[in-house]
Structure 1
Amino acid sequence: MPLFMDVHTVPGGVAAGDVAQAHQADLATQGAFGVDYQRYWVDEQAGKIFCLVEAPDAEAAHAVHREAHGLVADEIFPVSEHA
């Protein structure tokens, strides 16, 4: 399944606890869309959130955020994993 990295920008910064709650909402919603939100990273001061997700397409990943909590990504990129 394709892998995507989405990027959110929250002006004024973001609290890691709030992001954790949003991620839990994603996990509760993702099954209906055939999506697997795997992990996320937060830069609280810069207000940046990065989410790694397996999804059939970018729109399915976007739909999970929209339905789960409404905090949709500003950008979403197809990525591939390399070690």
Structure 2
Amino acid sequence: MWQRLEALADARRWENVSTAKVVEAAVAELVSVTRERRRLIAAFLVSAIQDPAIREGGLRFRRRVEERIRALLLPRRGEMDHPDPALAID
């Protein structure tokens, strides 16, 4: 999973690609991972309700995904039409 995230967030991969295409690819990859692992994610969510350590691990993972995607997109904020690009990325 980490390898897929790192490959997705590698700015060199997207050097000559429009921001719209980067966002499209990022969303497609995140949706794909969610669909592929939906049963595992469901089991994790049930466990996370009861176990703070599991919940914190999930939150750390989510923060890591957010950080990597933000680092990829924020330098492209000049290409975004949204009045608050940082908010749009979040």
TM-score class, shorter-chain normalisation, is: 0.3 to 0.5
Q: TM-score, normalised by structure 2?
A: 0.31
Q: Which has the higher contact order (CA 8 A, sep 6+)?
A: 1
Q: TM-score, normalised by structure 1?
A: 0.33
Structure that is richer in helix per residue:
2
